[in-house]
Amino acid sequence: MEESQVVESESVATGKQQQLSQAYWSLVWWKFKKNKLAIVGAIIIILFYTVCGVFAEFFSPYRLDYQSDYLEARPQPLVFKNPAGNFSLRPAVYGLDQELDLVQRTRTWVVNKERIYPLSLFVKGQPYKLLGLIPMDIHFFGVNTRKYPDGTVFIFGTDRLGRDLFSRILYGGRLSLLLGLIGQFCTLILGMVLGAISGYYGGMTDIIVQRLTEFVGAFPDIPLFMALAAAIPVDWSPILVYFMLTLILVFIRWGGLARQVRSLILSLREREYVLAAQSAGASDKRIIFRHLLPGTMSHVIVIATLMIPGMILSETALSWLGLGLRPPLTSWGVLLQEVSAVRIIRFAPWMLFPVPFIILAVLGFNMLGDGLRDALDPYGGR
Amino acid sequence: MAEPLVEIKDLHVEFEVRDGIIRGVDGFTLTINRGETLGVIGESGCGKSITAKAVMQMVPKPGKITGGEIIYYRRDKYNPHKPTEVVNITNLDPDGDTIRTIRGGEFAMIFQEPMSSLTPVYTTGTHIGEALKLHRLIPKTVGEQMTQQMMQYRPVTKQEAREISIEMLQKVGIPKPHERVDAYPHQLSGGQRQRVMIAIALSCQPFMLIADEPTTALDVSIEAQILDLMRELQDTMEMSIMFITHNLGVVAEMAKEIVVMYMGKQVEKSDTVRVFYDPKHPYTRALLQSIPKVGKRTGERLASIKGMVPDPFHLPNGCVFHPRCPSFVPGKCDVLTPNWIEIEPNHWVRCLLYEGV
Amino acid sequence: MLSYIARRILYMGIMIILVSFVAFLIIELPPGDYLTVKLQQLQARGDLSAQQRIADYRARYKLDQPVLVRYWNWITHFVQGDFGESFEFERPVKEIIGQRALMSAVLALASIAIVWCLAIPIGVYSATHQYSLGDQIVTTLSFLGLGMPGFLLALLVLFFAMMVLKVEVGGLFSREFTDAPWSWGKVVDLLKHLWIPALISSVTGTASLVRIMRGNLLETLGQPFVEAARARGLKGSKVTWKHAVRVAINPLVVILTTEALPSIVAGDALVATVLNLPTVGPLFVRALVSQDMYLAGTVLVFIVLMTMVGSLIGDLALAALDPRIRLE
């Protein structure tokens, strides 16, 4: 009699809990949906990761390393005209002509408004492998080269080697955004595990982890980045540099996350359900991973989202200074390396085009993270 | 005959939130007499605190007073028998000069949370001194003309403020007031903090003290001390007290008259004895039955009021209490809105049972 | 209190030794640093004076000794004020940094002043007018500011100034004053140039401080003591500033000192690099790129030192401001 009552009440309790957690997530979703800024952020981020991260080859009109004859060509502006020069809904680009600049004694490319090349969707272009597997040669947009053999489409211009900047920005986004994601993922794992261990076990373990985070925290972020990145040997292969850089970013950033997880665990550790699990004989590992860490999840998601922009920006800054990624790797920071000289800003200002992309990505993450923070704490005021 | 100090007439306070409008106070009428203690009781969320804040003209955002009047029969602060003006508090600018002289100077308020009602970075002396600087003037005779004294007032000096602070701390029973005047809030216990709050409130000799659940957060023994202190000080200072609580025991001890509130309206009002021994409104009865009593048969369940407080966005038709009312009359209580009627001398009730419809 | 300070300083000392050792390792270990390159060059020249200089270097930096000895050699010289030599500039590190330290400090103080003078009033306004149009504008702008790192903004400003305004930005002095001795005219010229980099490097700081201030104040404004102060008859603005802001601003003091002190040494190195400012920041960046190890190491140690001193001062200031912490 008594026993059945206990079982009953327990099953009622779990049922209630399930209901509650369902209610919680639907409330979160409901609140998130209401936040327009967060939705916009989410869309930006999703777009960035699909266009740059996954399908850069398809969306870019040229291959990453394709060097055309057009060196430092201006961006070809998009116009809505047909080849005859009349208005058309179909966008087109002007052609480029070479001109001798007598003052600077250089050859430059100028826009020739006489020649108009209409753009097409899904055009045949340079071959590539989609997702690194499927050979294809269809690009999202471009000039039909069979019809217009000398047509080019450099909507953001080209660099010193005649490479299309727009394509390079899409490819560069892949490395930058991926570094943010991978780096953040590693930070998350390291920070959560160490934070949880430190919070759960306390004592000596806690002291050691705490001192370690303090020690890393004693170095200011950017200078330590720079110093560590400078320590990467010049003769390492680019891929190795990429991973080393990710590791450095992780190494510097896990501390903050670990501290937050630790304090969350400290408060969760005293809850009844953890005591219940302990008295039921659950192992420490099980308690940490099944009972404690899930409780910190919503908090951690928010912190992680808000930390990714910092990751991306650090990479950009380091690469821009020449301490991070190096060509032939292409990231947004590497693209900006070209702009370190004032000369470039004056004579090829379109090389600044990666900047708005970086800012947009950072803003997207910030908006998404902020919306998540509000949504995941639906009972909290503000 | 008791003289009215404040008359609240048909007060409405509304909160505009995203999902609609909540009527925090919905047609509340009440008179507070000079020198008397009035108890306001009701469940949490029934609009007691909002009413108190409306009297101070400090309804928290996003609330707004949308109707009714709060008439204050003002008197000269330094000559309490001389009426000066009649103010409608609801018309005052919430940050204007008039209401700010009234706040603290003429109506003082103490709150439910003594633990955090004092600014943590200032000493008790600073707190009391701040109120004194605003509201207390020291009279000095400048000369006599015929039989009338010519009085002038000057603000208190720092030294005087400190002396008065120490005196007030002594009055509210804080040990070693000379040292405690320099103590920071976190160095005091909860009971001491509430004593300090009372000292601040009374330092400017107000006409009325609004006590918003002043003992809810305190231990029972401390509660008794604070209540004693308030009664004692009221005797010596001749002020009114509006005592807001959900604790029936406390209100029975303190108040001369009691108003029972439910969902933003007053439902019953009479003197304390009659409310306790001859309650008329079913809600009041239910409230009284829910008090545990010593000496009753054990094993019996405590009576609780059935049902839940209704959703503020979907108030029931007719009498708002009818879904929970044990004397519910179908076809009447859920259709007609009860009126505020006096069923015997000074015993008012809002219930259709007494309306004979 | 005194014993607390003593413990903090002791702890700081231990941390500094550890940090300086790690800094030394970071700078010393990787192959291809400036000294190695330099020695190779000298070796290649092979003449007598080159041999002599190689020997000098070996003796001075104890190149043949193990790491610990080299570190000891470096750190003992360091505390005596001898920070070593910059191999790239072939001059003592102390001299090179000394030249630029003043400008770094001026720029850092200017941008800190801008951050605080803007952020506190804006944050207070935003919190006291929550959800108003002004608050929404502030929130949006601070959002943009947070997403806009200084060096990208500096690039954009440079571009805008060049292409649209057709003016030169960058540097802290006009050409005629660059090497001139200090005079009234030079100070005025400095002020004319200073505001642009100061403003640029204060954007992110201002944005984040506005958000922190707004959040802290909103939390404080919800506290009962604010309502109690109002019930005492205080004016709204006085309740806000004397009670709410006074409590809400306390934790920000730590931010001020821990960020201000190190920034006086190296400031926003990235912005300074873009704008080509004569401050320590770009020097540090350059030293890191070329692995000019004694120069880079010295700056790094100073930054860490300043961060620690800053956080100590911040904690002490917090204790002075907040009686709850003071009396513990």
User: C-alpha distances in angstroms, C132 versus A162, C126, C136?
Assistant: 51, 8, 6
C51-69 residue pLDDT tens:
777 777 777 777 777 778 8
Residue whose token pair is 């503000």: A382
Burial code of A325-359, b = ≥16 C-beta within 10 A, e = fewer? bbeebbbbbbbbbbbeebebbeebbbbbbbbebbb
Could you report the predicted ipTM of this complex, rounded to two decimals?
Answer: 0.85
CA atoms of A187 and A259, how far apart (whole Å): 12
A13 against C103, higher pLDDT = C103
The rounded distance, in Å, linking the Cα atoms of A44 and A367 is: 10
From residue C69, alpha-carbon distances to A59, C31, C53, C300 in Å are 57, 19, 21, 20
- With contacts defined as CB-CB under 8 Å, which chain B residues touch C328? none
CB contact under 8 A, C159 and A366: no
Please answer whether residues A74 and A350 qualify as being in contact, where contact means their C-beta atoms are separated by less than 8 angstroms. yes
Q: How far is A323 from chain C (nearest CA, A)?
A: 6
Q: Is the per-residue pLDDT at C263 higher than 70?
A: yes
Q: Does the distance separating the beta carbons of B105 and C225 come in below 8 Å?
A: no
Work out the average pLDDT over A350-374: 86
Confidence at B128, pLDDT banded by 50, 70, 90: very high
Residue with tokens 């899930």: A294
CA distance B228 to B241: 13
According to the model, what pLDDT value does residue A379 have?
46
Please say if the pLDDT value at position C297 is more than 70. yes
C288 contacts in chain A (CB < 8 Å): 226-227, 229-230, 321, 323
Question: Quick check: B264 and B15 in contact, CB under 8 A?
Answer: no
Note the pLDDT tens digit of each residue in A85-107. Answer: 777 777 877 777 777 777 766 77
β-pairing, B240-245 vs B208-212, is: parallel
Contacts 24+ apart (CB under 8 A), B172-176: B172/B196, B172/B198, B172/B199, B172/B202, B172/B229, B172/B233, B173/B225, B173/B229, B174/B199
Whole-number pLDDT of residue C210? 92
Q: Do A363 and C159 touch (CB under 8 A)?
A: no
Average pLDDT in the C189-204 region? 84
Q: Report the candidate in C298, C272, B12 with the shortest Cα–Cα distance to residue A317.
A: C272
Query: Where do runs of H (alpha helix) occur along chain A?
Result: 2-34, 36-48, 56-59, 165-201, 203-218, 221-230, 238-269, 272-279, 284-286, 293-321, 332-337, 342-347, 354-376
- Please check whether residue A309 is in contact with residue A318, taking contact to mean a CB–CB distance below 8 angstroms: no
Q: Which has the minimum average pLDDT: A253-257, A330-334, B342-346, C203-207? A: A253-257
Question: Which residues of chain C does A310 touch, with a Cβ-Cβ cutoff of 8 Å?
Answer: none
Share of chain C above pLDDT 70, in %: 92
Chain C interface includes B118 (CB < 8 A): yes
pLDDT in tens, C118-155: 999 999 999 998 888 988 899 888 888 887 888 888 88
The verdict on a CB contact (< 8 Å) between A363 and C143 is yes
The whole-angstrom separation of Cα B268 and Cα B277 is 13
Residue with the larger pLDDT of the pair A295 and B350: B350
Question: Which B residues 162-221 touch C at CB under 8 Å?
Answer: 184, 186-187, 197, 200
Contacts of B117 in chain C (CB under 8 A): 224-225, 227-228
Residues C213-233 have a mean pLDDT of: 89
The encoded tokens of residue C146 equal 């947070």
What pLDDT sits at residue B210? Answer: 92
Best C33, C285, C294, C301 member to test A by mutation, with max A CBs in 10 Å, is: C285
Question: Is a pLDDT exceeding 50 seen at residue A14?
Answer: no
Could you tell me if A215 lies within 8 Å of chain C, comparing CB atoms?
A: yes
Tell the burial category of B118 from Cβ atoms under 10 Å away from its Cβ (0-12, 13-18, 19+). Answer: buried
Lowest mean pLDDT, pick from A138-152, A174-188, C291-305: A138-152
Region of poorest pLDDT, from A12-16, C107-111, C198-202, C255-259: A12-16
Share of chain A above pLDDT 90, in %: 1
HEC profile for A102-136?
CCCCEEEEEEEEEEEEEEEEEEEEEEEEECCCEEE
Q: How many CB atoms lie under 10 A from the CB of residue C56?
A: 10
Q: How far apart are CA B267 and CA B284, in angstroms?
A: 8
User: C252: distance to nearest CA of chain A, Å?
Assistant: 18
Is the pLDDT at C272 greater than 90? The verdict is no
Q: What is the mean pLDDT of chain B?
A: 85
**Higher per-residue pLDDT: B265 or C163:** B265
Residue A332 predicted with pLDDT over 50: yes
Q: Give the C-alpha separation, B212 to B70, whole Å.
A: 18
In this model, does residue A25 exceed pLDDT 70? yes
Reported confidence tier of residue B126, pLDDT bands at 50, 70, 90: very high
- Mean pLDDT, chain C, rounded, equals 82
pLDDT of residue B70: 92
Backbone angles phi, psi at A149, to 5 degrees: -60, -30
Question: What is the model's pLDDT at position A16?
Answer: 46
What's the pLDDT band for A13 if we cut at 50, 70, 90?
very low
Q: What is the pLDDT of residues B275-326, one digit of tens each?
A: 888 898 989 988 888 777 666 555 666 667 777 777 777 788 888 888 888 8
pTM listed for this prediction: 0.82
What the block records as the tokens of A305 is 């989202």
Contacts of C230 in chain B (CB under 8 A): 58, 103
**Which residue of chain C has the CA closest to B101?**
C233
Residue range A224-253: mean pLDDT, rounded:
79
Residues of C with CB under 8 A from a CB of A: 15, 18-19, 23, 26-27, 29-32, 143-144, 146-149, 151-152, 155-156, 158-159, 162-163, 170, 218, 222, 262, 266, 269-270, 273, 276, 284-285, 288-289, 291, 296, 299-300, 303-304, 307-308
- Tokens 């047509």 belong to A151
pLDDT tens digits for B231-283?
A: 888 888 788 999 998 888 888 888 889 999 988 888 999 999 998 888 989 89
Q: Quick one: which H or E segment has residue B164?
A: helix B158-171
Concatenating the DSSP letter of every residue in B172-231 gives TT-SSHHHHTT--GGGS-HHHHHHHHHHHHHHT--SEEEEESTTTTS-HHHHHHHHHHHH
Range of A262-266, C199-203, C239-243 with top mean pLDDT: C239-243
Cβ-based neighbours of A65, under 8 Å, separated by 6 or more: A163, A328
Q: Do B186 and C223 touch (CB under 8 A)?
A: no
C325 lies within 8 A of chain B by CB: no
> Higher pLDDT residue, C53 or C103?
C103
Measured between beta carbons, the chain C residues lying within 8 angstroms of A359 are 147-148, 152
The CA distance from A143 to the nearest CA of chain C, in Å, is: 30
**Biggest CA-to-CA distance, chain B:** 76
The pLDDT assigned to C327 comes to 57
Nearest chain A alpha carbon to C27: A231
User: In B318-330, which positions are buried (b, 16+ CB within 10 angstroms) versus exposed (e)?
Assistant: bbbbbebbeebbe
Q: Which of B109, B112, B116 faces C223 most closely, judged by CB atoms?
A: B116
B89 touches chain C (CB under 8 A): no
Task: Note the pLDDT tens digit of each residue in B74-121.
Answer: 888 777 778 888 889 888 888 888 898 899 889 999 988 888 899 989
Per-residue pLDDT for C183 more than 80? Answer: no
What are the pLDDT digits (tens) for B165-201?
999 898 888 889 999 999 999 889 888 898 899 889 8
Closest CA to B102 of B70, B66, B59, B72: B72
pLDDT category of residue A329 using cuts at 50, 70 and 90: confident
pLDDT in tens, B223-236: 888 888 888 888 88
Q: Does residue A12 surpass a pLDDT of 50?
A: no
What's the mean pLDDT in A124-134? 79
Residue A378 has pLDDT above 50, yes or no: no
Q: A7 pLDDT band (50/70/90 cuts)?
A: very low
Q: Which residues, at least 6 apart from B18, have a Cβ–Cβ distance to it below 8 Å? A: none
CA distance, residue C122 to nearest chain B CA (Å): 21
Q: What distance in Å separates residue B60's CA from the closest CA in chain C?
A: 9
